[in-house]
Structures are given as C-alpha cells and as structure tokens.
C-alpha cells in the first residue's frame, strides 16, 4: 500500500528552507532535464529533442552516474536555490519549477503517489528517448511540440 509522508515538507516549506535530503527528494526523476535541446542559428528558437544525455540510463529511468554527473558531463547543471531565476528552462512539470512558482506538485509526483512508477508516463519515456551518440544528428530527433509545451 502506498503511503503519503505525514509531513508534506514540499508544501509547508519554501525552497530555501529545505534540507539537502528534502531538496533531493523533490526531484521526481522524470529525466526531462536530461534531454538535449538545440537552438536554431537563425531565429534563436530552442527545440527539444528526444535524445537523452549519454549518461542517462533509459531502462532504469535515471542518471547512470549521479554522484559524478557534473564532472562527467559538460552542461549537466546542478539545481540550487541560488539558481532559481534560471528555472524557467526547466519543464513546466519540474517539481523545482512548480514550487518556485508556488504551484502544487502533480498527483503523480512520487512524494504524493508513494511510488516512482507513477512518473513513467509523464517523464522522458513519453517521448520514446534514445541516447546521445556520435552518429546521432540531434536535428533528426526534434520533438514537434517544442520546448514551450513540454
């Protein structure tokens, strides 16, 4: 049986009051921030692709080397309270962005549903992701709906 924690810290605390453990727990592991994006050279428009970072383990649905991710992958960004002004690049469903905008977490967030399985259809897997590799051209994997709607 799934159980909701008694203390919904994500509702009663501001982001800057979270402990490191609570900050980590806020991430729903959707993986959407691990998808590559490309910028059109002509109009600067940003497009989302379904090409995941080399380090993303599609099968297990998580970073394959989370502790070393920042050293291993150029461009991997650590989300911190000091960087909240940059959170607009995150998907609208990202828990950090939602709480920064004072919006509730969705019912499928593991902190609410009690299971990480509830994220599957709302995260990276809904785009049928592939891993980045030398023979992949990102332009061939642009997701039509664009980055504004993800």
From 16-24, 39-47, 73-81, 135-143, span contacting ligand SF4 (CB under 6 A)? 73-81
To which residue do tokens 């910028």 refer?
39
Give the CB-side neighbour count of residue 28, counting CA atoms within 13 A. Answer: 33
What whole-number distance in Å separates Cα of residue 85 and Cα of residue 23?
Answer: 17
Residue 99 within binding range of ligand SF4, rule CB under 6 A: no
Rounded to the nearest whole angstrom, what is the least distance from the CB of residue 14 to ligand SF4 in the complex?
17
Lay out the site mask for ligand SF4 across 20-59 (x = CB under 6 A, - = otherwise): -------xxxxxxxx------------------x-xx---
Give the residue, chosen from 15, 48, 51, 90, that forms a contact with ligand SF4 under the rule CB under 6 A. Answer: 90
Residue 37 CA, chain-centre distance (Å), reads: 13
24 torsion bin: left (phi>0), alpha (psi -120 to 50), beta (else)? alpha
* Contacts to ligand SF4 by CB under 6 A: 27-34, 53, 55-56, 63, 69, 73, 76, 79, 90-91, 94-96
């Amino acid at each position: 049986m799934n159980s909701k924690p008694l203390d919904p810290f994500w509702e009663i605390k501001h982001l800057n009051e979270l402990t490191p453990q609570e900050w980590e727990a806020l991430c729903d592991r959707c993986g959407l921030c691990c998808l590559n994006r490309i910028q059109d050279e002509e109009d600067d428009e940003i497009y989302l692709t379904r090409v995941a970072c080399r380090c993303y383990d599609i099968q297990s649905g998580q970073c394959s080397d989370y502790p070393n991710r920042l050293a291993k992958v150029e461009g991997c960004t650590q989300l911190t309270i000091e960087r909240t002004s940059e959170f607009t690049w995150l998907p609208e469903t990202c828990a950090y962005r939602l709480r920064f905008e004072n919006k509730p977490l969705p019912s499928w967030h593991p902190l609410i549903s009690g299971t990480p399985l509830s994220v599957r259809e709302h995260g990276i897997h809904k785009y049928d992701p592939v891993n980045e590799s030398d023979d992949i051209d990102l332009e061939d994997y642009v997701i039509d709906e664009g980055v504004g709607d993800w």
